[in-house]
Structures are given as structure tokens and as C-alpha cells.
């Protein structure tokens, strides 16, 4: 969320898209944490699956927003 807020204040769509890409990659970083929690026995497999899917969905939404902005700037 911080990357998105920072990019929004960048003043241009290309800059905003850059920060959205960073936010999307940060989702991959976030996805690594449930693996550690699962390996250490802090969460059950079902909880891991739920967390992983939630982050994946957020990444898809961010990707869609990036595509939308890319398309709107071409007009």
C-alpha cells in the first residue's frame, strides 16, 4: 500500500505505474512469509492457502490497474 501511495504522488502515470509494479513485486515478497509460518507450524495448511490466494488476488488487481493505466495513456 505504501508503494501505491508513494507512486500516486509521483505526478505522472508512468511514475505511478512504476510504483505499482514495485507494489506487485512486493506481493511476491509477502507470499514468502506464509511459507515460513507454515514451516514453523504457526499456521495450518488451510490458512497458508487462504493467505497465498489473497495476495495473489491483490497482485492480479494491481496488474489489471497497470494495464488500464497503460491503455488510458495511449489514448
Q: How confident is the model at residue 44 (pLDDT cuts 50, 70, 90)?
A: very high
Q: How confident is the model at residue 61 (pLDDT cuts 50, 70, 90)?
A: very high
Q: Which three cell numbers stand for residue 33?
A: 512469509
Q: How confident is the model at residue 10 (pLDDT cuts 50, 70, 90)?
A: confident
Taking the complete model, does pTM exceed 0.75, yes or no? yes
Domains and CATH numbers, the chain: 2-73 (1.20.1440.60)
Q: DSSP secondary-structure letter at 41? A: T
CA distance 31 to 7: 22
Q: Which three cell numbers stand for residue 48?
A: 497458508
Amino acid at each position: 500500500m505504501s508503494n501505491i501511495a508513494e507512486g500516486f504522488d509521483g505526478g505522472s502515470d508512468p511514475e505511478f505505474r512504476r510504483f505499482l509494479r514495485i507494489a506487485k513485486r512486493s506481493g511476491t515478497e509477502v507470499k514468502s512469509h506464509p511459507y515460513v509460518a507454515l514451516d514453523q507450524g504457526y499456521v495450518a495448511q488451510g490458512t497458508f492457502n487462504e493467505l497465498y490466494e489473497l495476495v495473489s488476488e491483490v497482485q492480479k488487481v494491481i496488474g489489471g490497474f497497470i494495464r488500464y493505466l497503460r491503455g488510458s495513456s495511449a489514448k
